[in-house]
Structure 1
Amino acid sequence: MLIDKYCYRSRLRKVNVMEKFCFSMTTLLLCILSRSLAASVLVLFSCGWLTVKKGGIPLRQYGKLLRVPAAFLLLSTLAILVNISKTPLDAYAVPAGSYYITGSTSSLIFGFRLILSALSAVSCLYFLSLSTPVTDLVNILKKLHCPSLFIELFLLIYRFIFILMSEASAIRTSQEARLSNRNFKTALHSFGGMASALLIRAMKRSARLYDAMESRCYDGTIRVLLEEYPPKKKEIIYIVIFELVLLFLIIGRKIYG
């Protein structure tokens, strides 16, 4: 819900949506294919600067959004960074009985490069999602000739995410007011009750939503009022220059190792 709120407030919202989409997807693709530290750092700081400075998203909130994937990436790369072996490796070695909790320099560099590449890819997606409302993304999907069924499912699922979150928050508040989470046993019982109530409410809300669509002459296609913003030549030139710089960094890494 925070992302949806900020994308409507972003100062980059009125930038041509195709420009933002091409920039984020091209940068994301180059970043993933390269696995270059220099390219990852450039992408991470560039997308962050565009989102925070140009888009007007608070730096603190942007940091909170990055914290979630960063924690997940750190936990998922522990298997690369930490090894248990009888032979100590060159980076570090902590004795634990007859074994060592150890790691090599190459594995640390690889793990750091992997985390940085993934974070820079996430920053590309955050740039797009924090500056582009869902209705504009629907316009992109239509221009890419995505099936109408896929677009409708995308809109309905996105809508129901907020409905379920709102209903779950209301049920959770009601349970906490009745002290239903005072211990582990009651918390499990409350969670089961919330899940069952949420299922029933979601089915009722979906039925009401479909009735509302039918009353508005729904014919199998969801139509959204779109606002077009013309592309600017200067912005296109900046995007091309940035992608060329990124490409040169990738080529330089391939040539010089």
Structure 2
Amino acid sequence: MLLIDQFAYTNGLRHVKAGYKFLFTLLMLVLAIGLDNIFVNLSIFVLIIILELTCAKFKLRNVISFIKVPLIFILLGTIFLVIGFSKENHFSYSIKIFGGYFGVIEGQEMLFLRVFMRSLAATSSVIFLSVTTPMVDIIKVFKAMHLPNVFIELFMLIYRFIFIIIEEAQTNINSLEIKFGFINTKTSFKSIKIFIENMVLGILKRNEEMINALNIKLYNGEFPVR
């Protein structure tokens, strides 16, 4: 059983109807993406953290572990909106390197903050649903909405694979931290190389295990639920 499933079956909101949690998550997503306001998105993120700590009864270290890996991916995906490299110094803050300038692109700071906070709020909302609601209950909600089976199938497989990646990344990061893999710059670069190698091999192995599990259960493209 994935760690995410263990949380989903043992949290304080386990017995709240999945439909209510789904509607709450949908509302948070609409507010985060529709309003696209930094303060609204910050409020959504803080609200999700408070709910996970007080209502779902998760420990602080668990809440941090939920968001730590997605936060890294969000940061890596948005940081290049605000930093760049050019032969001309058109940056707000910059350093000269290799005959050019590397720094913060002028006027892009607010765009970075908006995209970062929107992504953080939306991601934390989806994580809230995932860690408080078992997958079988989410599928029941989709079935009740009469969504096509192909959508449910794709959602299920993508969902599982995303959390396989997150769990694999968390395991590798913890392993490297225990071994002081990020104690200095030189060691950090070596650790990043090891991290990438382990991630590729680990994901391939976990993906094969998931396929084998589906084959054993005679998976035929549909997830039946009662």
In structure 1, the partner of 2:33 is 32
Show the counterpart of 1:45: 46
CA distance in 1, matches of 2:160, 2:86: 48
Q: CA RMSD in A?
A: 3.6
- Say which one has the larger Rg: 1
- How far does residue 54 in structure 1 lie from its aligned partner after superposition? 0.9
> 1:159 and 1:207, CA in 2 relative to 1: closer, same or farther beyond 3 A?
farther
Q: How high is the TM-score relative to the length of structure 2?
A: 0.69
1:33-79 Cα offsets, whole Å, 9 max, x none, are 22211111100000111112210122212212211111112222232
- Quick check: 1:209 aligned with 2:214? no
- Offset at 1:202? 6.7
The 2-side partners of 1:139 and 1:128 are apart by 14
Match in the other structure for 1:128: 129
Q: What residue in structure 2 maps to residue 17 of structure 1?
A: 18
**How big is each residue's C-alpha offset from its partner over 1:114-143, in whole Å with a ceiling of 9 and x where there is no partner?**
111101111100111111111211221111
Deviation at 1:207, TM superposition (A): 4.7
Amino acid in the other structure paired with 2:217 = L
In the TM superposition, 1:1-257 aligns within 5 A as 1-89=2-90, 91-148=92-149, 150-151=151-152, 157=157, 205-210=213-218, 223-225=224-226
CA shift for structure 1 position 84: 1.6
Alpha-carbon distance, 1:221 to partner: 6.9
Inter-partner Cα distance in structure 2 for 1:153 and 1:103: 39
Please state how far the C-alpha of 1:146 moved relative to its aligned partner: 1.2
| Whole-angstrom CA distance in 1 between matches of 2:138 and 2:86 | 49
Bigger relative contact order, structure 1 or 2 (CA pairs below 8 A, ≥6 apart): 1
Counterpart AA for 1:65: F
Secondary structure of 2:147's partner? coil
135-144 or 96-105: bigger deviation: 96-105
What secondary structure does 2:143 align onto?
A: helix
Task: Extract structure 1 runs of 4+ deviating beyond 3 A.
Answer: 148-155, 157-161, 201-208, 220-223
Partner of 1:176 in structure 2? none
The residue that corresponds to 1:237 in the other structure is none
CA displacement, residues 183-234 of structure 1 (integer Å, 9 cap, x when unaligned): x9xx99xx59x969x85x7776555422xx8xxxx9x975434xxxxxxxxx
Partner AA of 1:146 in structure 2 = L
SS in 2 for 1:130: helix
Counterpart AA for 1:116: M
Partners of 1:146 and 1:123 lie apart in 2 by 24
Distance in 1 separating the partners of 2:69 and 2:11: 21
What's the offset of the Cα at 1:16?
A: 2.2
Which residue identity is paired with 2:88?
T
TM (norm. structure 1) is 0.62
Secondary structure at the residue paired with 2:142?
helix
CA distance in 2, matches of 1:106, 1:88: 14
Once the 2 structures are TM-superposed, how far is the Cα of residue 97 of structure 1 from its aligned partner? 4.8
Q: Quick one: structure 1 residues 73 and 15, their matched pair in 2 at CA, closer, same or farther if it must change by over 3 Å?
A: same
Cα offset for 1:152? 5.7
